[in-house]
Amino acid sequence: MNKTTIATVANFFLPGAGYLILGVKRGLALLWLAGVIALTVVEFGIRESEPTLYAVMFAAVLVMNTAFAIDAYRMGKELEAELAPA
């Protein structure tokens, strides 16, 4: 598995982690990771008490994580192209 693939998967499950793997957006990556951890705490906190809100939040997180994964993939491919021998 290459670095781009690992970063893509990592960014889907832990937005920000993929950027750290690629070595880009380090400051933002750390902030996103902190936000993801806080959001997960809230998400599990409303799971039983507010099932409708939980479903909406789950869907929103799925969309955001997909976007983060796509961005990490594109960024990884750009880095690979820059490093490829001419």
What pLDDT sits at residue 85? Answer: 83
Extract the tokens encoding 71. 């961005």
- Chain center to CA of 77: 16
How far, in Å, CA of 52 to CA of 33, rounded? 25
What pLDDT sits at residue 15? Answer: 93
Q: What is the pTM of this model?
A: 0.86
What is the amino acid identity at position 79? L
Q: Which residues contact 27 (CB under 8 A, 6 or more apart)?
A: none
How far, in Å, CA of 76 to CA of 31, rounded? 20
Extract the tokens encoding 16. 């920000």
Find where tokens 């997180």 sit. 61
Average pLDDT (4-28) is 95
Q: Tell me the per-residue pLDDT of 35-84, one tens digit each, with 9 for 90 and over.
A: 999 988 888 888 889 988 889 988 999 999 999 999 999 999 999 999 88
